[in-house]
Amino acid sequence: MISKTIRLAGEKDLPSIRKVIETSFSAEENKAIMKLVAALSKEASHPPVKSLIAELDGHVIGYVSFSPISHKSASPISGYILSPLGVSANHQKQGIGSSLIKTGIEMLTRDGVDVLLVYGDPAYYGRFGFREKTALSFVPPYPLARPFGWLGMMISEASAPMDPIKFECAGALSKPELW
């Protein structure tokens, strides 16, 4: 019987994650994404970075990482950013990406996180409830290269703040070229 599992990634999973990134992202994106994954695995933020991997019969076929945002606003709202997400080329379109996102949302909701943000394709992330309108309340630390794709989803009972919050992200994502 084929066994599919999703679990938290550890530093020892880095070589397997590297293989996933190699086949999921284009050759030109590969290097920057691998650097990001390595930096996220070492990030000592509070609250912590949380990364998930999907395994098929013990082989890693998908990866997603979630890193916390911080801000100085008076609002108590807490948030994470989803980045990056990759599924091995020959395992795409089989629901692996969706399972990683949904498992991540459940995990962060249990942790008491209020908002999940992502900078990606609205046609894909919109399926899970990510919306441009929600993300308008959260101002990223760097100008965005594309005029679309900055998305957010409230995952707790909290409402998006009326006044936009300018936030900082984890060190691994604090690179203007990633935005």
Give me the residue whose beta carbon is nearest to ligand COA. Answer: 97
Among residues 45, 44, 37, 31, the alpha carbon closest in space to that of 16 is found at 37
Q: Which stretch binds ligand COA (CB under 6 A): 96-104, 109-117, 159-167, 170-178?
A: 96-104
Q: Which stretch binds ligand COA (CB under 6 A): 115-123, 130-138, 148-156, 165-173?
A: 115-123
Angstrom distance (rounded) from CA 59 to CA 31: 22
Report if residue 10 touches ligand COA, rule: CB under 6 A: no
Shortest Å, Cβ 16 to ligand COA: 15
What DSSP line would sit under 86-100, residue for residue?
A: EE-GGGTTSSHHHHH
Among 40, 60, 68, 86, binds ligand COA (CB under 6 A): 86
Among 16, 45, 94, 156, binds ligand COA (CB under 6 A): 94
DSSP lists the bridge partners of residue 113 as none
Angstrom distance (rounded) from CA 62 to CA 165: 32
